[in-house]
Amino acid sequence: MTRSDISNLEKIPRTAKEEHYKRSRSCPKTKNFQLYRSKKAFVIAERGEHRAGLIPTQVPESTSAEVIRNLRKRRYSVDVNAPSKLENKRPKMTRAWAIDDTNDKLEVCPLNFARESVASVPVYNEAEPMRQRERSTAFPDPRRYWNLYQFDTLQDTDVPSDSSCHLDLPGSSINNEDFLNIRKFDIDGWLTDNSVDVPLELLSRKYKCQEHGIEIVQSLMAVQLYQIYRWGDSNRDNFAGYGLERERLSSSRHVFIPMNDGIDEISNEGSGCGLHWSFVYIDRELCQATYIDSLFAFDAYHQRLAAAVVDAMGTLLEEDYEFSIDWNSPDQLKDNRSPVFDIGPCGPFVIETIRILVAWIRGEQDAGNELDMIWLPDGFGEEYRFDSKRIREGIFADIARARMEETAKKLAKQHDEAALAGVKGNELEKEGHRQVEEASEPIVAGQESSGEEDAEGLVFVTPPTSVSSSFEADQAKIEDE
């Protein structure tokens, strides 16, 4: 560089750094780009001028008109690319975002960009140094919308096999290890109490059982009932300690009680008990109880356990039930159509059979028909087409979807509190934006997503139609049988 060149540079007016960087924008009315990247998705969005900041996922009904007027306007232009199994079947000339993990850079390029065309791109030299592009801003966490999650086949590496809580519901919970074991067929595939309680609670919530006089109790209730049968009113207080259970059961006509043969473990220690699931159905209006078992319906010991649970139920509610055994239950081994031998199909059988009976009850209620005592029809074992593998996958998918929804609700609540905190007229603004500080920080482009975040958003499978079928399909199935 000559002395004359230096003198010419001195004649160029000096510009503030902020203004210098602002000129790197392609359009003066465009705000910064918002980027989000996880293991299986890359999202880019831009916000128009005067639209910086957060907006709530949903505006609460109690929000005042002043707050609604002062909310920021929504305008997103979003381009999302998520890899899929059809990646290689995309049409030609499709553009996609290419991620170079070696230098952690994000670049856009055509998938079928010709190599020879790269050499023909002219290169220019500029006297002014290259302007640095402004730093991208954080993108609001897309996991607030559960239906934006990436559906794919779950790999065991996505969820750690540990005792950490995987899904926490109001009445039950399940950890990661039990969740992963649902799809196993060896001894680890035997469903634990939590693995049975969580799907049944989701089933109760799906069919709105409590609103229609149907109660599906937790497996612990069978243990409590057996203790009542064995020891009676030991405290001589008319079972005051079971006040909540008595109130909940007395308001329902149809009661389903899943039970494990380990409820008598004190007197049968070391006898192999605690490895088989069955259930009892009680119609309190007709004062009838039915024991349904897929393996030991003919066994006197298991019959005695079921009769004891029914007797204790009558004692607790001061009622008397007629006990009977349903002999039309399918055999979990002989009638199981699973392509893989399942060593513990009793748990899936209990969950799916309760689902079928609940769907039948709800269908009759919606049709306005008078309900009689429920029995499994003749030939149900052969026509049921019991497939424990299909049922396990359905249970797995239902729990995965429930976790998606629970995660989305939690993140949406945090996001909305942060968005409404800065709106003029909102009470949250007067609290010093406390909710903004407590809200979790969204992921910024260029940062590596943590393992926990990846597991949150990428562990779900496409729900099969077995457990997630509609009322109409369930009713049609019963009518065909």
| Cα four-point dihedral sign 94, 96, 100, 105 | positive
- Report pLDDT digits (tens) over 124-154: 444 555 555 555 666 777 778 877 665 544 4
Torsion 112-117-122-123 (CA) sign: positive
H or E element that contains 81:
strand 77-81
Q: Locate 450 and state its tokens.
A: 């943590």
Our CA angle for 25, 41, 103, nearest 5°, is 65
Indicate the average pLDDT of the chain: 73
The count of other CB atoms within 10 Å of the CB of residue 190 is 20
Of 313, 177, 346, the C-alpha closest to 245 is: 313
Residue type, 117: S
| CA 169 centroid distance within chain | 11
For residue 278, name the pLDDT band (cuts at 50, 70, 90): very high
Q: Within a domain: residue 241? A: yes
Q: Is the pLDDT of residue 449 over 60?
A: no
Task: Note whether residue 127 is domain-resident.
Answer: no
Helices (H), 207-343: 220-231, 243-250, 300-317
* 192 — pLDDT class (breaks 50, 70, 90): very high
The angle, 0 to 180 degrees and rounded to 10, between the axes of the packed helices 193-206 and 388-421 is 70
Q: What's the pTM value of the predicted model, to 2 decimals? A: 0.69
DSSP string across 459-480? -B-PPPTTTS--HHHHHHHHHH
Percent of the chain scoring above 70 in pLDDT: 60
Q: Where are the beta strands (DSSP E) in 148-302?
A: 165-168, 173-175, 214-216, 254-260, 277-283, 288-292
Paired with 281 in beta bridges are: 256, 290
Tens-place pLDDT, residues 367-396: 988 777 788 888 887 778 899 999 999 999
- Which of the residue ranges 310-314, 331-335, 470-474 has the most confident prediction, judged by mean pLDDT? 310-314
For residue range 389-437, list pLDDT tens digits in order: 999 999 998 998 898 888 888 988 888 888 887 676 665 444 444 443 4
Maximum Cα–Cα distance across the chain: 109
Asked if 167 and 198 touch (Cβ cutoff 8 Å), the reply is: yes
Residue 3, in any domain of the structure: no
Mean pLDDT throughout 59-80?
68
Residues 6 or more apart whose CB falls under 8 angstroms from that of 359 comprise: 207, 471, 474, 475, 478
Question: What is the pLDDT averaged over residues 79-102?
Answer: 44
User: To which H or E segment does residue 98 belong?
Assistant: strand 95-100
Q: How many domains does the chain have?
A: 1
Q: How far apart are CA 155 and CA 157, in angstroms?
A: 5
- Closest to 314 measured CA to CA, from 290, 287, 333: 287
Rg of the chain taking only CA atoms, in angstroms: 31
Dihedral pair phi/psi, residue 36, rounded to 5° = -145, 130
Measured CA to CA, the distance from residue 467 to residue 425 in angstroms comes to: 46
Residue 338 inside a domain? The answer is yes
Q: Which amino acid is it at 232?
A: G
Residue with tokens 């008595």: 246
Contact yes or no for 71/426 (Cβ under 8 A): no
Tokens of 137: 């801003």
pLDDT on residue 41: 67
**25 lies in some domain:** no
Question: Is there a contact between 35 and 47 (Cβ–Cβ < 8 Å)?
Answer: no
Query: Does residue 9 fall inside a structural domain?
Result: no
Category of 316 on φ-ψ map: left (φ > 0), alpha (ψ -120 to 50) or beta: alpha
Q: Does residue 445 surpass a pLDDT of 50?
A: no
The whole domain housing 287 covers: 165-407+462-480
The residue type found at 151 is F
Q: What is the CATH number of the domain that holds 307?
A: 3.40.395.10
> How many CB atoms lie under 10 A from the CB of residue 467?
23
Q: Does 373 map to a domain?
A: yes
C-alpha distances (whole Å) from 466 to each of 64, 334, 349, 454, 470 are: 44, 20, 12, 28, 10
Share of the chain above pLDDT 90, in %: 36
Overall average pLDDT of the 455-478 stretch: 37
Average pLDDT in the 55-81 region? Answer: 69
| Chain centroid offset of residue 164 CA | 16
Nearest Cα neighbor of 315 from 342, 289, 294, 341 is: 289
φ, ψ of residue 323 to 5 degrees: the values are -90, 135
Look at 80 and 470; give whichever has higher pLDDT. 80
Query: What per-residue confidence (pLDDT) applies to 454?
Result: 40
Identify the pLDDT of residue 416: 85
The answer to whether residue 418 sits within a structural domain is no
User: What CA–CA distance (Å, rounded) separates 254 from 216?
Assistant: 8
For residue 438, which amino acid is it? E
